[in-house]
Structure 1
């Protein structure tokens, strides 16, 4: 499949899948449409992240499902490629959510942004930053008011 988005190939350049590596991922809905604002839509994404964990593809450290994008901090499982894990999550949720929203065409934008955590990164702080996204975006004043997140270090 040919991608015409500016910077798409640059997103893949240097991408490596390293088992046990912690990654910070972000991907967005097509044209940043707020299709994930509904509880059923957000729950479909969360269900797919849990499936990745249950299948031992990943170990989730934190996530937040925003109205138009997803942030996910994970540890990659053994023998799994990062791009395949994300594509599986996006494919599964795309099929279900297009039906839910009666959408023809793409649900997600092509690709995703990833950043491998470095040895000197404070992973707990990175996860707190991810789950605080709804506060910074102004869609919640307290994390307890926003249901679409989780972290191994925080409680609602």
Structure 2
């Protein structure tokens, strides 16, 4: 029933109580986390492939710097899901870095300024007994379930270590 718990986690994003998401947040090196961040006012900016690739560059840089071991991600039109194993940074540090750096690069590319992301993010620590491959499959299946493509391979903004 892994899909149900992930689906429930994602449902929580629809509620306007992001400040409550920080309550009880704990970072553990080596633990896998599924995080979701949403674009301010849910603007579908990542329908533009180039802007999605700017975000991907920030996810990749966090991996390349050893802050995380990136396992899977998908960039949806107005949000992203990212499964990673925490390495040499805390969860808030990783998310602050990715969100602030992507805000700067995307705003620069668009000639805009100001807020790009909604405040906060949703995170869920994977339990030791959970199958990370199943979580990754769930993540990359988002474009298919959203009706954006007929086959996962047709969607350009995703990656997974195992797939």
Q: Which residue of the partner structure matches residue 105 of structure 2?
A: 96
Gaps of 5+ in 2: 1-14
What TM-score does the superposition give when structure 1 sets the normalisation length?
0.91
From 104, 127, 130, the equivalent of 2:136 is 127
Equivalenced residue count is 149
Instruction: Kindly state the Cα deviation for residue 8 of structure 1 after the two structures are TM-superposed.
Output: 2.7
Kept in 1, the 8 Å contact 2:33–2:123? The answer is yes
Kept in 1, the 8 Å contact 2:19–2:120? The answer is no
What TM-score does the superposition give when structure 2 sets the normalisation length?
0.88
Q: More displaced, 142-151 or 95-104?
A: 95-104
| Larger helix proportion of the pair | 2
Gaps of 5+ in 1: none
Q: Distance in 2 between matches of 1:114 and 1:38?
A: 26
The question of 1:72 aligning with 2:82 is answered yes
Q: Distance in 2 between matches of 1:102 and 1:66?
A: 22
SS at structure 2 position matched to 1:134: helix
The question of 1:43 aligning with 2:53 is answered yes
Question: Displaced runs of 4+ in structure 1, greater than 3 A?
Answer: none
C-alpha distance after superposition, 1:102-155 (max 9, x if no partner):
33321111110000001221110000000010000000111121110000111x
RMSD of aligned residue pairs (Cα, Å): 1.2
Instruction: Kindly state the Cα deviation for residue 6 of structure 1 after the two structures are TM-superposed.
Output: 4.1
The question of 1:82 aligning with 2:91 is answered yes
Q: Which residue of the partner structure matches residue 34 of structure 2?
A: 24
